[in-house]
Amino acid sequence: GQNIDQPTEMTATEGAIVQINCTYQTSGFNGLFWYQQHAGEAPTFLSYNVLDGLEEKGRFSSFLSRSKGYSYLLLKELQMKDSASYLCAVRLQAGTALIFGKGTTLSVSS
Amino acid sequence: EAGVAQSPRYKIIEKRQSVAFWCNPISGHATLYWYQQILGQGPKLLIQFQNNGVVDDSQLPKDRFSAERLKGVDSTLKIQPAKLEDSAVYLCASSLVAGSSYEQYFGPGTRLTVT
């Protein structure tokens, strides 16, 4: 079976930096996605990695190591609105849907 | 650009009843997905369409779930009869081209409660 692991919960304070890790063991790999999901809302796309390395997009960065089956999402200058669930997802092959982890609930406090 | 539309937003039914959900993807998006998200878990694919053809329905409980995408645009997902464990949010998503780096765009979801 496919396995995607993320921590269940994390807490941080406003202005801080937080790193959310994701490890995967899958039968194939064609890209790793990070989505943000606020309570009661739809997931929204944050980042996509298919090659090793760091992708930076504003306050958010995502890193991928395919040999280690590992990714992380880095959130800088945390704001209260960043309190949400962060979903790590893997696409096994081109043309297929995503397989999601259970998500990490991030709580940002002042 | 209008996003993915879904209706209804909420539905409460009793077990053994039937229910249908509707999805209208972003204009021009050939690929449409239905996901089931149980509370505290990530979305799980139920079915994937490419235009009006089924690409993957391996995780669709076909004894009670059915889906169609007539004319390659709108889609409906039906459950008949519903069970308690079907209580979940049903998310519809679409993408421009399957398999590219293009992300999937999700609709607001339909929250189903089966009592």
**Each residue of B32-43: pLDDT tens digit?**
999 999 999 999
Contact B43 A87 (CB under 8 A): yes
Tell me the three state secondary structure of residue A49.
strand
- At B10-54, the pLDDT tens digits run 999 999 999 999 999 999 899 999 999 999 999 999 999 998 899
Is the minimum CB–CB distance between B25 and chain A shorter than 8 Å?
no
Specify the pLDDT at position A18: 98
Strands (E) in chain A, as ranges, are 3-5, 9-13, 18-25, 32-37, 44-49, 53-57, 60-65, 70-75, 84-91, 98-100, 104-109
Q: How many CB pairs under 8 A join A and B?
A: 57
Answer yes or no: do B105 and A45 touch at CB < 8 A. yes
Mean pLDDT over B43-69 rounds to 95
Cβ contact A77:A14 at 8 Å: no
Asked if A39 reaches chain B (Cβ–Cβ under 8 Å), the answer is: no
Q: How many CA atoms lie less than 13 Å away from A24 in the CB half-sphere?
A: 31
A70-75 vs A60-65, strand pairing mode? antiparallel
